[in-house]
Amino acid sequence: MQNKGFVYVASKYYEFIQAARYSATSLKDFWPDSNITLFTHKEWISDDDTNIFDCIVTDEVPNHKRAKLWALDKTPYELTCYIDCDTHIEHEDIQKIFEQYDIDSDITITKARRYAASIESKFKGGELTDHCGLFIYNNKLHTLNFMKQWWLLYCKQDEHKWNWDTDLYPEYLRKWDMWTYWWLQNKTEHKIKRSYFSNPDARWNFVYVYDKKELNGTEAVIHHQPVPRRS
């Protein structure tokens, strides 16, 4: 098992494998020795992909919009940086990303911005505070179990097999994996210890609608922008 590496997951829409290549190429540009694992579908793999990705996993990868959650507990690394496909690397400080991980925690994550969220992140029962598009996590058993529970609960959520008090937690949360994460972290025994990227954390996950002021005069390392779907 290698120590540290990045995990990309591309499933359901072909645009995601294109985006994963785009992002991973930028990662290799700024950190040629980085370890990258891709979870995707066999039929989407091209010959060149082995030049970008060090490890490609296709066995049993579900054709699912949140295959990401399925893949998380199957990381080959002791310390993993999960990164959404719809990102690219812009700065050589990417080589320092694992220094952001707080060893006293299980997961290090960036904060979500309410003003930049696709939905109202604050509701009667709480607030979605963590951005689940990029995070670093360890491979301790309880952490990997959390990732597994995240996938299992999201499936129930998506299939309407898990319902909640919509007075406290609005129904519009159903499609979001951030909601599943919030629930597991705040309402279950599966919760893991969380820490945040150091300020300005936005430079490690700069979503395209963020205010530039969030960077505090620094340069963004990772840029995050949704993949347009053509199908």
Partner 1 sequence: MDYTHLPRKIQNPYWGNNEKTQVICEFNYEGGPVVTAAVSDTNDGNPDWKEIFNIWTSEQLDELTEKALREDHVQSKKIQELKKDDIERMKVDALFSAKLDAFEIDEIKNSKNRAFKSKIRKAKTLLEVTAYASALIMLENAE
Q: How far out from the chain centre does Cα 71 lie? A: 11
Contacts of 193 (CB under 8 A, 6+ apart): 104, 105, 106, 107
Which tokens belong to 84?
């959404």
Is residue 192 within the footprint of partner 1 (CB under 8 A)?
Answer: no
The token pair that represents 179 in the structure block: 């909601």
Q: Which stretch binds partner 1 (CB under 8 A): 4-12, 14-22, 35-43, 117-125?
A: 14-22
Residue 119 DSSP code: S
Q: Closer to partner 1 at the Cβ: 46 or 199? A: 46
The answer to the question of residue 172 lying near partner 1 (CB under 8 A) is: no
Please report whether residue 43 would count as binding partner 1 according to CB under 8 A. Answer: no
Among 2, 29, 120, 188, binds partner 1 (CB under 8 A): 29
| Dist. CA 229–CA 67, nearest whole Å | 17
CA angle, residues 90, 7, 221, in degrees to nearest 5: 15
CB of 228 to partner 1, least distance (A): 3
Q: Which residue, 85 or 147, has its beta carbon nearer to partner 1?
A: 85
Nearer to partner 1, 49 or 158 (CB): 49
DSSP assigned state of 201: G
Please give the residue ranges that form the binding site for partner 1 (CB under 8 A).
Answer: 15, 18-19, 21-22, 25-26, 29-30, 48, 51, 88, 90, 208, 223, 225, 227-228, 230
